[in-house]
Amino acid sequence: MGGRVVVLAWLAVFFLLGLGVWGFQAGHLMLIGYLAASAILYILYAFYRRCPWCRMPLLLKPVRCLGMEFYLWTFSVPRTCRHCGKPIE
């Protein structure tokens, strides 16, 4: 639930910022700056948010394809760790 609220709030700020500044001379640059700052914050959060028990990043999602295991990044934190299975506080 908390992850959805964060994503919806991010989208709302993005659209409000876009509507408010697009008419400015460098309004499009403000949106690009907002996207860049958002990407940097997400990357930092993704690497530092770890399971308290196994210390694996929580936003990594293992996916099996053709007998191999790949890891994808997700937006929301799961209720339980995908590696050790313990609940996340």
Helix (H) or strand (E) holding 12: helix 2-21
Q: What is the pLDDT of residues 19-52, one digit of tens each?
A: 888 777 777 888 888 889 988 988 888 888 899 8
Question: Can you give the residue ranges of every domain in the chain?
Answer: 1-48, 51-89
Q: Is the pLDDT of residue 3 over 70?
A: no
Residue in the structure block whose two tokens are 């959060």: 45
Q: Take residue 1 and report the two structure tokens written for it.
A: 């639930």
Q: What is the pLDDT of residue 68?
A: 94
For residues 71 and 69, what is the distance between their CA atoms, to the nearest angstrom?
7
Mean pLDDT of the chain: 85
